[in-house]
Amino acid sequence: MIDLRFYWSLLMRRLPVMLALIIICSVFGAVWAIRAPSTYSTSARLLVENPRILDGRDAPGTDSANEMLQVIEQQLLTRANLIDVANKLDVFGRDGALGVDEKLALMRANTVIRRTGGRDEATMMTVTFTSPDPRIAAGVVNEYTTLILGANTRNRVGQAENRLAFFQQEVERLSQDLDGQNARILEFKRQNAAALPENLQYRQDRQSLLQERVARLESDLAVLQAQRAEMVRLFEQTGNLPTQTAPQTPEQQQLAALRAELNSVLGVYAENSPRVRALRNRIASAERAAEGQAAPAQASNSGNALLDMNLSQIDSRVSALQNEREQANQELENLAESINATAANAIALGALERDQQNIQARYNAAVASLDQARQVERVETSAQGQRITVIEAASVPGQPSGPNRKKIAAAGIGLGLGLAGGFFALMELLNNTIRRPAELRSRFQITPLAVIPHIEGRTERRRRQAIRLAAILAVVIVIPLGLWAIHTQYMPLDILAQKIVTRLGLG
């Protein structure tokens, strides 16, 4: 069981110190609550508006709006911005005791930014500033609002311009890549013009045609060679060459045809008609040409002019057919090489064209994105996109918003009670002396037979009571007088408390 009488005696013994702690903290709290300067808070409300010209592919959502507000908040609370606002509006007056870091800490501590929004809800921002001067509080909030609107405009327009510049560079780069790929394809086609897959069918048809032509030339050569051998054999056997067996040259054939036509025309037209004269002129030219063809035969030394002429004609035709066959065979070889190389060229050209198609697809996508970026840039520069507007600007407050003086005074009393209770518990933990039979039993496991208490005399009791009363009176009278002297002669208690809290790193 708890020995209430024992703890009551301990409480009465330590009551002066506990009263001193309670009184000191209560006085500090009361003075701080009374003398704490009034503070004024004012707010401005801002709304994130949806774009007036909305593209379905870039429809903004709540997440993007919140992200935008977070970015603007971090930009607003930078060191440079806060110090500039403090210096511009002279937030801290002529107080030279505050350093730059202290001003920065106070600006951040007195600035409150709240964001609200959600699904199917408008995204809003509330900016609040607290200051002892209501005009400064309103001025700071309005300056914050100006900075937020400016940052929002710069961010949106800058982002749109950066996007536009990126896609412009991307389109230029892909255009150069596409031109380079087209040049490579053109150079490849120029170098392999005879073995491209696009004219493979023509070369195959040409190959079939030449093969038929070579076969026909071989047949004609065989016929001419057999005719020549037969002509020589007949001449060797008979010594004569039948006229009807002698082949005629093309000039001779043309001459015979002209003479036949002249005979038919003379039956209709007169001798001096223009057509008859024209035919005779053509016959004269053909005769001269035939004589020129027969001249080499006359120079032959075979002994028979007709045989030499016929053999010469056959040999010239054989030579012409052989040259034609060689040309056809050479063209066939070239066609075979080009057809064999067509498969490899088709693979290489297909790879080049696939790369070209890929680059073309990326180029088309980049052009589409560039067009969209131009639209977004025009929308942002004309202030038709997502933006922040001021719903309610900050006004000069007429009533103070703080401090909560009752809460400060109650906190001082609570702190005093806490310190007094802590002192009592600490002294009890640090005291290891044996003061009760229960402590003797718990520590040494022995049971005392009897307990003889300390018997005070009347004089001793009076002296102890006088000392206790003097201590209580000293606590009740001297400590308040001492605090009053410190407050009036040295430093106000609220400033002293603020400095103590600051030194302890609690404020």
Q: Which of 341, 366, 391 is the last residue of a domain?
A: 366
> What domain range includes position 465?
4-34+438-503
Q: Which pLDDT score is estimated for 493?
A: 67
Using CA atoms, how far apart are residues 413 and 420, in angstroms rounded to an integer?
11
What is the token pair recorded at 89?
Answer: 């509006």
Could you tell me if residue 91 is inside a domain?
A: no
Element holding 364 (H helix, E strand): helix 305-381
354 and 449 assigned to the same domain: no
For the chain, the domain total comes to 2
Indicate if 360 and 481 belong to the same structural domain: no
pLDDT band at 354 (very low <50, low <70, confident <90, very high): very high
Q: Is the pLDDT of residue 501 over 70?
A: no
Spatial separation of the C-alpha atoms in residues 107 and 206, rounded to whole Å: 91
pLDDT at 49: 83
Domain assignment of residue 27, yes or no: yes
Q: Which of 366, 382, 407 is the last residue of a domain?
A: 366
Could you give the CA distance from residue 95 to residue 400 in angstroms, rounded to a whole number?
22
Kindly state whether residues 443 and 350 are assigned to the same domain: no
pLDDT confidence bin for 56, thresholds 50/70/90: very low
Q: How confident is the model at residue 59 (pLDDT cuts 50, 70, 90)?
A: very low
Residue 315 lies in a domain: yes
**For the packed helices 305-381 and 200-238, what is the interaxial angle rounded to 10 degrees?**
180
Q: Among 321, 343, 366, where does a domain finish?
A: 366
Kind of pairing between the strands at 124-131 and 40-49: antiparallel
Q: Is the pLDDT of residue 415 over 50?
A: yes
More confident site: 187 or 456:
187
Helix, strand, coil tally for the chain in percent (to 5): 75, 5, 20
Residue 135: pLDDT band with limits 50, 70, 90:
very high
One domain, residues 315 and 225: yes
318-353 pLDDT tens trace? 888 889 889 989 988 988 988 899 889 899 999 999
